[in-house]
């Protein structure tokens, strides 16, 4: 029996790969997990009440593209956050942003570009769904280094003209996972100009946008509006997983130009998995409330300050501008993660598991990713043990 070969060269996903590396060894202390980006701050206190009041909604099929009330709440949040007014026909609810980031490639990537196989650009390291999406639509994934030399953001403008002319879609994540770098307004404006010049669309993964140190990161929508860019150039993806500490809700949204949205909605009509109506009601309440977001952000900002104190003087340490990961330099990420687990019980993710080797170089190999999602005391303890074990 034959199987498709399109995914045959994929490495194991990061977390099964990590289990293979670590689980054969006993921990060297009380385990502290700092691997997965699963928020552990309190969810909004109204979640249970809203859910209970809408249980009858489990008895009906949910609106495929999002209930009108949810889309109105999302539109209102975009207007408050970015100063951009979008009609509800330019929005679609998602069953988590990963669904949208994947399906956007299926709905929008053409079969060819400039008479050749299309290219999909993505940063390296990156959120792994970008690569799977490219392979699914038979596009060529091009992994563009996002290293300290480029400010931990990909320099797409430096690519050869023939690659850019074949480019159909470009993924960008800001604040970046894993490095925490924030794309400035100028960076996004330049990317939009490049998209216009070479006729591609930008898929902006902004799910960490409400976790920041000093100032809220700019969004692609507001830069596109300020620049007068074609609305079909810019698609943005947002989530309640990080913003509202609700990863299990699986609720996000995509905003896009009218023509792109028609294609996204058409695909969802045939193959989508809409969010159950009671969960849409919870999401509606979350997008309307900022108090829980402000409180959660303050907890992360305190953990950023703890990390700065604990790693003060460490060569190569760079405090993140946003998101909730540390991207810490080591000689070898796998060796460091194994040493840390065996000697302390602290569990982190090797950076190479989030990257691809290109030209014999893996830009994540010399890093570990550390998630600052646990309560403050546990986070401080884990970071201190990490420092003493790997940098002492």
Q: Is the pLDDT of residue 11 over 90?
A: no
Instruction: Give pLDDT, residue 52.
Output: 98
Give the model's confidence band at 297: pLDDT under 50 very low, under 70 low, under 90 confident, else very high. Answer: very high
**Per-residue model confidence as pLDDT tens digits over 124-137:** 999 999 999 999 99
Residue among 292, 228, 293, 261 nearest 92 (CA): 261
Q: Which domains does the chain have, with CATH numbers?
A: 14-42+293-390 (3.90.1150.10), 47-291 (3.40.640.10)
Task: Sheet with 367-371: list strands edge to edge.
Answer: 325-329, 367-371, 349-350
Q: Which residue is listed with tokens 């498709």?
A: 4
Average pLDDT, the chain: 97
Instruction: Give pLDDT, residue 1.
Output: 85
What is the DSSP-derived secondary structure letter of residue 12?
P
Cα–chain center distance at 231 = 22
Which two three-digit tokens encode residue 256? 């896009």
Is residue 258 within 8 A of residue 103, CB to CB? The reply is no
Q: What is the pTM assigned to this prediction?
A: 0.96
């Amino acid at each position: 029996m034959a199987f498709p070969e399109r995914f045959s060269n994929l490495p194991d996903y990061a977390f099964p790969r990590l289990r293979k590396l670590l689980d054969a060894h006993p921990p060297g202390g009380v385990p502290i997990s700092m691997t997965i980006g699963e928020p552990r701050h309190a969810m909004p206190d109204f979640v249970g009440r809203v859910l209970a009041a809408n249980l009858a909604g489990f008895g009906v099929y949910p609106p495929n593209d999002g209930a009108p009330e949810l889309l109105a709440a999302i539109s209102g949040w975009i207007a408050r956050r970015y100063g951009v007014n979008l009609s509800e026909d330019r929005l679609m609810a998602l069953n988590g942003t990963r669904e949208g980031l994947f399906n956007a490639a299926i709905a929008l990537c053409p079969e060819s570009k400039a008479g050749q196989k299309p290219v999909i650009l993505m940063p390296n390291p990156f959120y792994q769904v970008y690569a799977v999406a490219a392979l699914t639509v038979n596009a060529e994934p091009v992994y563009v280094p996002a290293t300290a030399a480029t400010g931990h953001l990909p320099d797409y403008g430096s690519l050869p003209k023939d690659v850019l002319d074949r480019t159909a879609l470009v993924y960008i994540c800001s604040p970046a996972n894993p490095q925490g770098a924030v794309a400035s307004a100028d960076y996004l404006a330049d990317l939009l100009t490049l998209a216009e010049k070479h006729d591609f669309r930008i898929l902006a993964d902004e799910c960490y946008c409400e976790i920041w140190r000093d100032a809220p990161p700019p969004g692609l929508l507001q830069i596109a509006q300020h620049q007068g860019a074609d609305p079909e150039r810019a698609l943005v993806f947002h989530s309640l997983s990080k913003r509202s500490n609700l990863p299990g809700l699986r609720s996000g949204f995509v905003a896009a130009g009218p023509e792109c949205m028609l294609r996204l909605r058409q695909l969802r009509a045939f193959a989508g998995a809409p969010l159950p109506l009671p969960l849409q009601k919870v999401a509606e309440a979350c997008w309307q409330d900022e108090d829980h977001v402000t409180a959660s952000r303050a907890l992360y900002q305190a953990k950023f300050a703890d990390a700065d104190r604990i790693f003060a003087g460490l060569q190569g340490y760079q405090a993140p501008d946003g998101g909730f990961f540390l991207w810490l330099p080591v000689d070898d990420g796998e060796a460091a993660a194994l040493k840390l687990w065996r000697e302390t019980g602290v569990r982190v993710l090797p950076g190479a598991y989030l990257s691809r080797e290109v030209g014999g170089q893996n830009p994540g190999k010399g890093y570990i990713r550390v998630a600052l999602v646990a309560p403050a005391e546990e986070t401080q303890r884990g970071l201190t043990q990490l420092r003493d074990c790997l940098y002492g």
